Structure 1
Amino acid sequence: MILYSFAKINLSLHLLGKRPDGYHEIETLMQTVDLADKITMTECKEGTTVTCSDPIVPSDERNLAYKAIDLIRSTYRITKTGIQVHIDKQIPVASGLAGGSGNAAMTLHGLNKIWSLGLSREQLMALAAKLGSDVPYCLFGGMARASGRGEKVTWLDVENPFYFILINPPIAVSSAWAYQHVKIDLTNPGACVSLMVSLLHDGDFDGLISHLHNDLELPVQSAFSAVREARGILADVGTMGVLMSGSGPTVFGILPDRSEAERTADLVRSRVSPQWRVFSVSSISQRAISLRCSLD
């Protein structure tokens, strides 16, 4: 079985405060884009094997896809069959694009089919929430708002096309570090995200761009010059709505159409070293993901 797990970007990310369980309460607006890892799953006689084309990705219990397999095994007492998973990694690791979360989400889908578990959408969501804050959203992707620690997801019935340039500098930013150093904004994040949702439904592209926000961006760009440089490059080449995604270090800019995005991506590549990864991507809907991965 072949599945694809897609990268996500945060069009808005507000932190409300720290919870008793150590997580932060958030309000966020997310969109999947057509940058994807290819996941090949094969049933075998016994055991669990996870491999990846990127050698820095762990292949043991530290891997979220591996954790997804263990969770399914323990929850449904599956012991008499094995599974092999290979991840062809295209999404940069630890980039603020939910690559690992997407791998885990699609592994859940794959196991549901391969082992004929018959799990409902609600059951998959409950399992995903045990694996990570972004995993429930990554099960279905598209445009959605999320709250709680990220596991409470409301999908939005909007399919406005967006085109993005992603710049991923060759640095690592710890999510834990970013959250520890954020200063909580006193504005009403729920109202901010609701306004963005309204702008999406109205097709107000300029209004949406003017309200892009990420509470984690200021501490990260203050500490990491590469993030500031990425932002500056995207502003210089004329992209709109420049913002860091998640806890970084990936920064995105919005373009009006695909041809302009591809042209601008080539221009950006000419300005950065080969170690920097630059992508021209477009939004992908929940329906398109479902069709691509045969999830229906």
Structure 2
Amino acid sequence: MNKVVLKAKAKVNLSLDVVGIREDGYHEMKMINHLIELDDILTFESCATGISLTSNEDTIPLDERNLVIKAAHKLQRQFDVKQGAKIHLEKRIPTQAGLAGGSSDAAAALNGLNRLWQLGLTQSELLAIGVTIGADVPYCLVGGTALVEGIGEKITPLKDLRKMIVLVVKPDIDIATPWAFKKLDESMIENHPDIPEIIKLLQDDAYDMLKMKLGNVFEAVAFAEYPEIKTVKNQMMEQGALAAVMTGSGSTVIGYYQNHELAEKSWRFFKEKYTMCFLSNTEEGENDVG
């Protein structure tokens, strides 16, 4: 096999909770994740030696700081791979937006190189490697709608979300994940999302109740420091969103719409204010990295 091409889809959190801190300092999470119809495209080509990465996006690192390179080197070292690879990343998922673009790219790299180098690794083996690269990598290897727990390694598939229109809006605010965790550790979490109840609502197709249950514990610290994010969420609800929630540690807010006309109207409203604003759809099934 000389060439492999894979799509790596963006991930969002329908809800996110932090339930504890382990002795090693890692945070225990409980999240409901799903994919949206937005993807990066990665091309893997065989070469004699070495790993190289190119991209259409000149702002992303092309060295070990990029999780694609980190994943490739990890596979090479762990399985004593002598063969090299030329990797091209066509970047479509916005960076620093809480959409797990880097993690999804890393998952694609693990799968793509597993095929290119014919390593024969199972999904379980790839998951074990993925969790050492990043907390979102294991989920991105699996995809679909899922409950994700622990430090990202415990994944329970859930009933796929109903097909809905998703409005993605990122205010002109960048939030570093370490900062968000530090602020969270320093504060008292008063409102935890009821993850089991949300799962039940999804199973029962009781989508009209979701707006009362969705939540993200990072919203409290993000809203306190950047009230504009809260304003975006509130405006989505005022404009007819079925539900709205901040994804990851922010600052991106996701709005769910069942009516395309309302979604378009809301998109036009936010497009006047924010560069990163687009419509997508909830994505059924698995990521294209399996």
TM-score by length of 2: 0.92
Over the aligned positions, Cα root-mean-square deviation in angstroms equals 1.8
The CA deviation at 1:53 is 2.1
Work out the CA distance in 2 between the residues paired with 1:263 and 1:45: 52
1:13-32 matches, within 5 Å, as: 13-32=16-35
CA contact (8 A) 2:208 2:242 kept: no
Alpha-carbon contact 1:184-1:215 (below 8 Å) kept: no
AA at the equivalent of 1:134: D
Counterpart selection for 1:59 from 50, 62, 67: 62
Q: Compute the displacement of 1:243 (Å).
A: 1.2
The Cα shift of 1:64 comes to 0.4
SS of the counterpart of 1:283? strand
Unaligned runs of 5+ in 1: none
Partner of 1:286 in structure 2? 285
Relative to structure 1, the CA distance from residue 56 to residue 171 in structure 2 (aligned partners, 3 Å threshold; closer, same or farther) is farther
Q: Is the 8 A contact 1:233 1:268 kept in 2?
A: no
Q: Which residue of 2 aligns with 1:37?
A: 40
Secondary structure in structure 2 of the residue aligned to 1:93? coil
> Aligned in 2, Cα 1:285/1:184: closer, same or farther, shift over 3 Å?
farther
**AA partner of residue 209 (structure 2):** G
CA distance in 2, matches of 1:188, 1:245: 15
Residue 87 (structure 2) pairs with residue 120 (structure 1): no
Q: Which digits, 9 at most, give the CA deviation of each residue in 1:135-164, with x for residues without a partner? A: 000012110001112221111133422321
Give the Cα–Cα distance (whole angstroms) in 1 for the partners of residues 51 and 41 of structure 2.
Answer: 18
Output the CA distance in 2 between the equivalents of 1:187 and 1:205. 21
Question: CA 1:186/1:171 → structure 2, altered by over 3 Å: closer, same or farther?
Answer: closer
1:7 counterpart letter in structure 2: A
Secondary structure at the residue paired with 1:268? helix
Unpaired runs of 5+ in structure 2? none
Task: Find the residue that maps to 1:7 and give its secondary structure.
Answer: strand
- Cα 1:278–1:147, aligned 2, differ >3 Å: closer, same or farther? same
- Counterparts of 1:77 and 1:168 in 2: how far apart (Å)? 41
Q: CA deviation at 1:258?
A: 4.2
8 A contact 1:15–1:184 mirrored in 2 = no
Equivalent residues in 2 for 1:89-168, closer than 5 Å: 89-168=91-170
State the distance in 2 between where 1:186 and 1:154 align: 26
How far off is 1:89 after superposition? 1.3
Q: CA deviation at 1:126?
A: 0.5
Residue in structure 2 matched with residue 72 of structure 1 by the alignment = 75
CA distance in 1, matches of 2:234, 2:209: 22
Shift of 1:259: 5.0
The farther-off stretch of 118-127 and 230-239 is 230-239
Contact kept? 1:29, 1:146, Cα under 8 Å: yes
- Cα deviation for residue 235 of structure 1 reads 3.2
Equivalent-residue separation in structure 2 for 1:211 and 1:203 (angstroms): 14
Amino-acid identity (%)? 32
Instruction: Determine if contact 1:17/1:184 at 8 Å carries over to the other structure.
Output: no
In the alignment, the residues of structure 1 paired with residue 240 and residue 40 of structure 2 have an alpha-carbon distance, to the nearest angstrom, of: 29
